[in-house]
Structure 1
Amino acid sequence: MLLAIEQGNTNTLFAVHDGTSWSAQWRTATESARTADEYAVWLSQLLNMAGLQLGVFDGCIISSVVPQSIFNLRNLSRRYLHVEPLVIGENAELGIDIRIDKPSEAGADRLVNAIGAHAAYPGDLIVIDSGTATTFDVVAADGAFEGGVIAPGINLSMEALHTAAAKLPRVAIQKPQRVVGTDTVGAMQSGVFWGYIAMIEGLTARIKAERGAPLTVVATGGIASLFHGATLSVDHFDPDLTIRGLLEIWRRNQGRS
């Protein structure tokens, strides 16, 4: 039984793999100061509801873009799961080439996504991850990570509008009925939603033109489902891309001393 922990800047996902499939998944807000004990109390309650307990795990893998949280997540695994965790960027062997100028700067989440995408889709890929930031990453047909684009996430952009402009309210992100809004809320929703659709279409087209070859576009992340059906530029919407990557990395590291 494997516990996969994928921590982003906004949310942290805990997913349980029973050896055959993902049997449970839970999300919590990312709080860098949350201790291992606090995680254990929260997680034990959810495991109980699923008929499980902390002691059932024989493996744990952690991917985090919040360095100050890794200490507590590692202690959660050691103290309460009684297993030494695999941590992306520390003791986990990824098994892929990182073909960028400074490989150490590649985020753990982007590398895990590259591995998860390569495991499921053939050929050259563009992986779009919509979270706190929106990233567009190129994965070669051999699985290598070849760089990409980092843009502000849709929630970040909406919050910036509200914070920086005194008269603009905080609004929910959703697909508007029409492009041209007839009130402030509608205009904001249209600008953010269709603006991001335009960014997806424009950047994927430019990446393909620069590469001079066809690429399959895969979208993931908590916000990606909002764009489902709104653009033909995305070939696949895959919510399990990151945890699939973590599972693949876990399997690649079995048997290593």
Structure 2
Amino acid sequence: MSLYLVFDIGNTRLKWAAVESTQNIADRNKKLWAYSGSISNQSFQSPELRVELSDYISKTMPKPDAIGFCCVAGDTAIQNLRSLFPQWQDLNWKQLTGDSPYEGLRTLYEDPSQLGADRWAGVIGARALSSTNTLIINAGTATTIDLLGGNGVHYGGWILPGLNLMQESLSSNTAQLPLAVRSSTTAAQASFGMNTNGAMTGGCDAAQMGAILRAAYLAKAMNHPVERIWLDGGNAKILANEIKQFPELAALPVEPIEGLVLRGLWAWLLQNL
């Protein structure tokens, strides 16, 4: 049995997980990740906290047979990652980028090297889970929306500010609007906001949903009507609840799934060992 360690360095957080060769990539059981965790990118910049992370991982799990990673946070973050395990100098490190080939998939991106590695990993993860026309939505710092055809073709996608960025931009760039507060009990809004906070959170949600609806309409016009939506990222559950308010999308399988990028890294790593 082999053990693989995968890292996703995003704009805000570093996420990691370890999987065993006996596990199934398509398994959606929440206990799939035997070892996993995340820290903020700000914490990861600290040498002391990197030592703690390295010590924690190396003492929590056996030495892995290989490490796969993707990064959208810059070269310094990659250097910090690769310095984590000096005691495991012989480890096989594999970096997934936007132009990394994956059997059964191809992208129509004009320059695949400019495709975000996390987006491509999410597409691979979605392909490992299903072979239908799929919208892949990563609702993190940015919200990304990608269309993957059941034929294995990635038709491109969109990048827009995430929910938090939208809300923060209203507060920081206007004179009288406060920072909107979204409580854990905030329900999906099917009407206009009746106070400033509700108007701001509802407006940002509506902007996200407008992009998702537009993507679904465009996919249908391209003869690849959406049959499933995968949602990953910190705001995935919020958008999943919003999607249920729209008859055009509510009938689709809409599933928030944690670690879609990590799952794609895992699938890609297995093809490249």
Is the 2:240–2:254 Cα contact (8 Å) retained in structure 1? no
1:123 to 132, 136, 146: 132
Q: Structure 1 pair 177/73, CA: closer, same or farther in 2 (3 Å)?
A: closer
Paired with 1:115 and 1:165, the residues of 2 have a C-alpha distance of: 40
Which residue identity lines up with residue 72 of structure 1 in the other structure? N
Which residue identity lines up with residue 98 of structure 1 in the other structure? T
Q: Structure 1 pair 182/46, CA: closer, same or farther in 2 (3 Å)?
A: farther
- List gaps (5 residues or longer) in structure 1: none
Which residue identity lines up with residue 76 of structure 1 in the other structure? L
Query: How far apart are 1:224 and its partner, in Å?
Result: 0.8
1:154 aligned onto 2:163: yes
Paired with 2:240 and 2:98, the residues of 1 have a C-alpha distance of: 35
Q: Secondary structure, in 3 states, of the residue corresponding to 1:5? A: strand
2:208 to 169, 180, 196: 196
Paired with 2:128 and 2:188, the residues of 1 have a C-alpha distance of: 37
Which residue identity lines up with residue 203 of structure 2 in the other structure? G
Q: Secondary structure, in 3 states, of the residue corresponding to 1:56? A: coil
Paired with 2:199 and 2:65, the residues of 1 have a C-alpha distance of: 51
Is the 2:139–2:234 Cα contact (8 Å) retained in structure 1? yes
Residues 128-185 of structure 1: per-residue CA shift (max 9 Å, x gap): 1111211111223243322111111111111101100122122333544753323221
Q: Secondary structure, in 3 states, of the residue corresponding to 1:188? A: helix
Identity of aligned residues (%): 25
1:29 to 30, 35, 40: 40
1:244 aligned onto 2:263: yes
The 5 A counterparts of 1:1-257 are 1-19=3-21, 20=23, 21-31=32-42, 34=45, 38-45=49-56, 48=59, 52-53=60-61, 56-68=63-75, 69-77=77-85, 79-82=86-89, 83-89=91-97, 93-95=101-103, 96-173=105-182, 175-176=186-187, 178=189, 179-209=191-221, 211-216=222-227, 217-232=229-244, 233=249, 235-237=253-255, 238-254=257-273
Q: Secondary structure, in 3 states, of the residue corresponding to 2:175? A: coil
Taking only aligned residues, the RMSD between alpha carbons, in angstroms, comes to: 2.6
Query: How far apart are 1:33 and its partner, in Å?
Result: 7.2
TM-score normalised over the length of structure 1 = 0.85
Query: How far apart are 1:104 and its partner, in Å?
Result: 1.4
Query: How far apart are 1:45 and its partner, in Å?
Result: 3.2
- List gaps (5 residues or longer) in structure 2: 24-31
Paired with 2:114 and 2:213, the residues of 1 have a C-alpha distance of: 26
Moved more, 22-31 or 105-114: 22-31
Which residue identity lines up with residue 29 of structure 1 in the other structure? S
Residues 30-68 of structure 1: per-residue CA shift (max 9 Å, x gap): 2397266642312433665xxx24x52222111111122
Residues 169-208 of structure 1: per-residue CA shift (max 9 Å, x gap): 2233354475332322122122122332233223322332
Which residue identity lines up with residue 241 of structure 2 in the other structure? G
